[in-house]
A and B are shown apart, each in its own frame.
Chain A
């Protein structure tokens, strides 16, 4: 797109800036729409599993429910508690929301369709997702209220714990692909056994795919790891004191993060924008449709888990993260690098 604006007579820097801003809008605006619809889908799936109808009043089949909710919170009064640390209290939801959008810059939607094709794409995502904890922690502290504070403590411990094992899982994928670039990682998954596309079909990486899915649930604080928002213990967790748009920003950010994790599952383990089978006919379908189908499948899994699995206890959560996932993922880093050493890189060094 930069070349197009340059042909209109703009200097390179101006053209680059303009095309980047357009690229950001082309990703962020549909993402917001997707978040609105995915909240609706979440409620519908959850309701269906509980044999309820879910939202069905606003618009046909209740499709406009999220927009009605958005309008409602938009018209509400923003209440800042008098004991709160005002500046930080208002900045916290902005951090969560911004960070949730930032990571999408490096996601490849199709071959070459990516805003920033940087060679440290996966590290960038890891760096950005490690920032996500600040929105929650600052909210908990700035609210100056005990339940948000407990929630912030839980959230920060939980996110740090699972980031460690996520890091090791990603290392396995990176070792296999030989690159941190997400496009290269996706392309490297082509043609397992000459037929299947996706690291998940690799027996060494399949356990990592499952662990990544579970860690993703914990990292986004979705059920069964939603201890930060455990309503029976903490009212609404770190969001307790928030109202109006600040509250809505948390919701949007949270679901954008969930979508990001679903996308990462698809990109890293199940072939991203490649069709699941390496058959030429399937490449007629645009890659973005395959990617969206995979994202939606993983989102369905997330909702399914939310509807069926009871909430973990906090010590069980920590035990799973540190005593089970961490050693197992470390073992697989060892196994994967050993396997590659012997097969791809020609034996002992």
Chain B
């Protein structure tokens, strides 16, 4: 009973939040609705018994990706009138993408529920005594180790690429050398001089 209630609660809020992500007029509100949707997706994962995936979803998407989205959107100075003006010209393109996506979803659902071909088992049997972290780990580090490491490598390359693309070695800027600052002692910085009267200080 509680599970059914929780499922419909999470699912309804998620669909509502996803709709509001699109319909919200303010981009910051859009991002916040997106976060609500992610969070409820996490809840649905927990109901499926995939608590590890649920936690990762919250940590990665809500805790990191959405914060960066929010960060960027908050910093933008968005002119809403200008945004609205482009709506009609983008409409055909948007419709095209929407139709393609909708067709894909329908096709996927159709094959999954009525088609004669059994593409995959709907739920793999879960051994009772193995937590799903252990199960994922055991699969990821044995059977899918090369794919896993390849994914890691792609991320590493992307990270280095992002740094290379955005890093500008500006010349003529005085940077701080923290080690030198820390090594500096009073005797390096202070000099006692007996300054004769009427003469300028030698610097």
A and B from one assembly?
yes
Identify the A interface with B (CB < 8 A).
Answer: 13, 16-17, 85, 88, 118-120, 123-124, 126-127, 130-131, 133-134, 137-138, 141, 149, 152-153, 156, 160, 163, 180, 315-316, 319
Q: Which of A123, A138, A160, A319 is the one whose CB lies under 8 Å from B32?
A: A138
Cross-interface CB contact of B58 among A131, A133, A319, cutoff 8 Å: A131
Contact B133 A13 (CB under 8 A): no
Beta-carbon contact of A160 and B52 below 8 Å: no
Interchain nearest-CB distance for A156 vs B (Å): 6
Which of B35, B59, B178 has the most chain A CB atoms closer than 10 A to its own CB? B59
Task: Jot down 21 A-B pairs with beta carbons below 8 A, ordered by A.
Answer: A13-B2, A16-B2, A85-B26, A88-B29, A88-B32, A119-B51, A124-B55, A126-B59, A127-B63, A134-B70, A137-B74, A141-B74, A149-B74, A152-B74, A153-B71, A156-B67, A156-B70, A156-B71, A160-B64, A180-B133, A315-B176
| Residue among B55, B64, B133 with max Cβ neighbours from chain A (10 Å) | B55
CB atoms of B51 and A130 under 8 A apart: no
> Do A123 and B59 touch (CB < 8 A)?
yes
- Cross-chain pair count, CB within 8 angstroms: 64
Which B residues lie within 8 Å of A180 (CB)?
133
Interface size class of B (residues with CB under 8 A): 20 to 34
Min CB gap B6→A, angstroms: 11
CA distance A153 to B70 in the complex (A): 10
Known: A127-B59, A137-B67. 20 other contacts (CB 8 A): A13-B1, A13-B2, A88-B32, A119-B131, A119-B133, A120-B52, A120-B133, A126-B55, A127-B42, A130-B58, A130-B62, A131-B58, A131-B63, A134-B35, A134-B70, A153-B71, A156-B71, A160-B64, A160-B67, A163-B64
Which B positions have Cβ atoms within 8 angstroms of A?
1-2, 26, 28-29, 32, 35, 42, 51-52, 55-56, 58-59, 62-64, 67, 70-71, 74, 131, 133, 176, 178
Instruction: Tell me which residues across on chain B come within 8 A of A17, comparing CB atoms.
Output: 2
Which chain B residue shows the least CB distance to A174?
B133
* CB-based nearest B residue for A119: B131
Measured CA separation A34–B62 after assembly (Å): 30
When the two chains form their complex, are residues A141 and B28 in contact, meaning their CB atoms are under 8 A apart? yes
Q: Which of A13, A85, A120, A130 contacts B64 (CB 8 A)?
A: A130
By a CB distance below 8 angstroms, the chain A residues around B131 are 119
Q: What distance in Å separates the Cβ of B34 from its nearest Cβ neighbour in chain A?
A: 12
Q: State whether B58 touches A120 (Cβ < 8 A).
A: no
Q: Which 5 A-B pairs have the closest CB atoms?
A: A130-B63, A123-B55, A127-B58, A127-B59, A119-B131
Q: Which residue of A lies closest to B5 (CB)?
A: A13
Which B residue's beta carbon lies closest to that of A152?
A: B74
The interface residues of chain A lying within 8 Å CB-to-CB of B55 are 120, 123-124, 126-127
Nearest A-chain residue to B70, judged by Cβ: A137
